[in-house]
Structure 1
Amino acid sequence: MAGIVLKAVYVTGQKERQAALYKACKRRAACGLSRAAGLSAAVIAAAAFLFVAPAVSAGDKPAESNQKQAEKQSILTEARRNLQLSTERSAAYKAEVQALSQDQKRLSRALAAAAGKEQSYSDEIAAGLEHLHVLAQQQQQQQKVLTARQAETAEILAGLEKLGLSPPPVIFVRTEDRRQSLQAAVLLGALLPQMRAKAEAVQADLAALEQLELAANEAQEHLRQAREKQADEHRRLALLLEEKKRAQRQKQQNLQEEEKSRKKLAEKVQNLQDLLGEISKQTASPGTGAAPGQMQIEVPFSTLRGLLPRPVAGRRLAGFGQTVGGKLSQGEIIETAPAAMVLAPAEGVVRYAGRFRSYGQLVIIDAGENYYIILAGMAQIHVAPEQFLLQGEPVGSMEKLLLADKGGFMVNKAAPQLYMEIRKDGKPVNPALWWAATRQKMRQAGQPQ
């Protein structure tokens, strides 16, 4: 009952008015009104007590101060424990990366797994924030209901107070006295059941609000844990990426001449179609003629329709065949979270990685069978030409802060946007045919899936 009283006062925030009502009802109880109606004045005072918080005595202040000190100490202890755990996890991650550095295939698989976990935590955090928003709206609505009920009850208590200022006579000397007593009895008989019903309704509303607050606290804790896990995975992913880059740098000398050729090629061709045509001429399919020990594509891309994860989580702004900025979109435009990780949707060999015309940072993945996956609009690229990618390996990351333009393909600049295409024999095909419906679902912006 005490918890309910405190909750009611917290919600309404009208302590002074409530205290006055409570004192008035105590006076009303003393005047003997309930005797005329055959009911106890204590019932009225108890009903009013539902809306009044007990005063905090001066002796409670030291206890409160001690409690705050204990809470601060608990927070400090928890922070030290988390720091120690973080240090231990970082050491474990470094040891793991050092062991993986001897096996590039295992390193690639570890990268893909870490990136997948990081993206799943991002999805979990987004869902958690949305859930918290809904709970906050429900709490606000419930508080409005409680405030409205408190105002209704205050009116009834005010009516009882008025009646208490001129109580009917206890001894019936005149007919008028008898009439006043009967009127008082009728009035009390009508008001007190209303008070009881309203008190029960308030109690139910308080219980509902308490459940919402418990749900919000649980959601906050779940969100905190998800963010902590995501931060851990970020650290692990950064170490793995650095090791991958180190391994790539060792091979870079062999690729320098080829990289110069790529840059000249990008300067020579005028559009993406020409670039893909030149790449097709200069490179063989990664699934055939591979050197011994080199990783190869294991599953033909043509058999993966409806099975692939999208390269990034987010909201689809435009789909294949839609008009965007006066141009016909040959792929999809996805609005992502800042700094979102872009993953390889399928196995393949990187045929181009770098800036290209108005596309910004561009990566072209040769998926075999003359299929190419094109990803554009990233802020950073984490791959190099001729690097073999496993499904789910990080390709790049999106902007942390937004830049001005992405070559006319962007619908708005409210968030980073990734442009992606799939081409077969140089011709664009609908990417939606390849995405799995049950994994990494996209939040739509009015377009069909």
Structure 2
Amino acid sequence: MTSRSTPVSAPICAIVALALAVAAGVGQAQAPVLNAGDDPRGALAAALTEQRFAAARAGRLETAAAQASAAADRTAQATAALAARIQQAEAGVAAGEARIALIERQRASLRDSLAVRQAPLVRLTAALQLMSRRPLGLSVVRPGSLRDMVHLRAVLESMLPAVRRQTAGLRAGILRARQLQAAVRQAQSGLRGDQARLAERRAALVGIETRQRLSSRAARGDANREADRALALAEEARDLTSLMGTLEQAGALRQRLAALPGPMLRPAQPGAARIEVSPVASPTAGLDYILPLAGTIVTGFGEASSGGGSRSRGITIAARSGAQVIAPAAGRVAFAGRYKGFGQIAIIEHDGGWTTLITDLAAVAPAVGDRVVQGAPLGVAGPGSPRVTIELRKNGAPVDVLAAISRR
């Protein structure tokens, strides 16, 4: 006689299947790990690097200001140091925003992972709760119920260690989510601190620049005439290239005149006089040069324009709204003001035939004829998503800005 085995009821089969799914780790996902190439991580690394450079530059400028004997030199170095501190604070804000974006991405991935891992556990818990509500008398009256319950208990006891391991991993994921939430709150607190420091330093710089303008207003007769001449040249120039060429010719002439020797006194003993030849600096001597602002390079040197026309003579940087722009090297301001189609621009003459052009600024702080030290505040980038273009020339020939940079 062949014995027939009583089929296990559907709820029991469902519970067993759910237990097996949980024990096998169905839908298990690891905690998210971002690649180094992801945008938030790369932005964070770039911001931290810029923050270190700005802090080091500010420290050197502050030391130079403390050691300067002349009041004008001390003020110039102190102003440049404050501009470096502003860029340091801007980099801190960018780092805070990148850090928050990085954590939020981890939280989003972790939420998806937990949702998948929780699903079988939730269904198993619901099934067990349903079985626990079944009256004991019903199990006695209903044929096969006791056998099903014994079978279910045996399955659950065998699967319980694996279920515990999976729920332990789930608990660890929930704990990680709480830690990420705490990290977000800490990053937001640090971001608010950096934003407050940035606002304080910008206000301090505005105060210094206002005092400088008031103190120099009485002695700007010649400078005003030179500024008027520069504006007249801008009106006459066909384009920005011709304006730079005219200013470069004027700057070269000014440097040659300044290099002419003064009148020589007759020596007491003409026969014993000797001619000493001073060493002449190489025309290809390098230039101590830094980027005038932080950001992402969107157009490189020599790249074709979007319209397929002429190639870029400089680089274009996508910067933060209102980012601080500084003088990339010491020099003399040859032009400062608005130019058709390029917003506010600044042209700086450096020693050795070097010239820098910076376009698309919202404001320019120095005036024509002002001498600026490296790192001196030039102005700020525009609102929204500004694109600032920097061109560097050597005796009128375009030079790759990135090749001349000395990041110290």
TM-score past 0.5 threshold: yes
Deviations 1:330-382 (A, max 9, x none): 11111121111211000001111223343332211110111111111112111
Partner in structure 1 of residue 393 of structure 2: 423
C-alpha separation in 2, matches of 1:390 and 1:281: 22
- Find the residue that maps to 2:220 and give its secondary structure: helix
Partner in structure 2 of residue 390 of structure 1: 373
C-alpha separation in 1, matches of 2:148 and 2:225: 109
Partner in structure 1 of residue 129 of structure 2: 161
User: Do the aligned partners of 1:266 and 1:356 also contact (CA within 8 Å) in 2?
Assistant: yes
1:288 Cα deviation from its structure 2 partner: 4.7
Give unmatched runs, 5+ long, in structure 2.
Answer: 1-67, 261-280
Alignment partner of 1:365 is 2:348: yes
Partner in structure 2 of residue 213 of structure 1: 181
Alignment of 1:48-127 (within 5 A): 103-127=71-95
User: Do the aligned partners of 1:321 and 1:328 also contact (CA within 8 Å) in 2?
Assistant: yes
C-alpha separation in 2, matches of 1:236 and 1:249: 20
1:196 corresponds to which letter in structure 2?
Answer: R
What's the % identity of the aligned pairs? 25
1:311 Cα deviation from its structure 2 partner: 0.6
1:135 Cα deviation from its structure 2 partner: 0.5
Q: 1:104 to 1:164 in 2, by over 3 A?
A: same
1:116 Cα deviation from its structure 2 partner: 0.7
Q: 1:143 to 1:179 in 2, by over 3 A?
A: same
1:303 Cα deviation from its structure 2 partner: 4.7
Partner in structure 2 of residue 321 of structure 1: 302
User: Do the aligned partners of 1:153 and 1:198 also contact (CA within 8 Å) in 2?
Assistant: no
Partner in structure 2 of residue 27 of structure 1: none
Partner in structure 2 of residue 246 of structure 1: 214
Alignment partner of 1:341 is 2:341: no
1:113 Cα deviation from its structure 2 partner: 0.4
Give unmatched runs, 5+ long, in structure 1.
Answer: 1-99, 291-298, 402-414, 440-449
1:308 Cα deviation from its structure 2 partner: 2.5
2:386 corresponds to which letter in structure 1?
Answer: P
2:161 corresponds to which letter in structure 1?
Answer: P
C-alpha separation in 2, matches of 1:159 and 1:336: 57
1:277 Cα deviation from its structure 2 partner: 3.5
Say how many residue pairs are matched: 318
- Find the residue that maps to 2:132 and give its secondary structure: helix
Q: 1:360 to 1:196 in 2, by over 3 A?
A: closer
1:379 corresponds to which letter in structure 2?
Answer: A
Alignment partner of 1:228 is 2:196: yes
2:338 equivalent among 348, 355, 373: 355
User: Do the aligned partners of 1:285 and 1:366 also contact (CA within 8 Å) in 2?
Assistant: no
User: Do the aligned partners of 1:149 and 1:202 also contact (CA within 8 Å) in 2?
Assistant: yes
Q: 1:185 to 1:260 in 2, by over 3 A?
A: closer
2:166 corresponds to which letter in structure 1?
Answer: K
- Find the residue that maps to 2:350 and give its secondary structure: strand
Q: 1:162 to 1:391 in 2, by over 3 A?
A: same
User: Do the aligned partners of 2:227 and 2:367 also contact (CA within 8 Å) in 1?
Assistant: no
1:104 Cα deviation from its structure 2 partner: 2.0
TM-score (structure 1 length as normaliser): 0.63
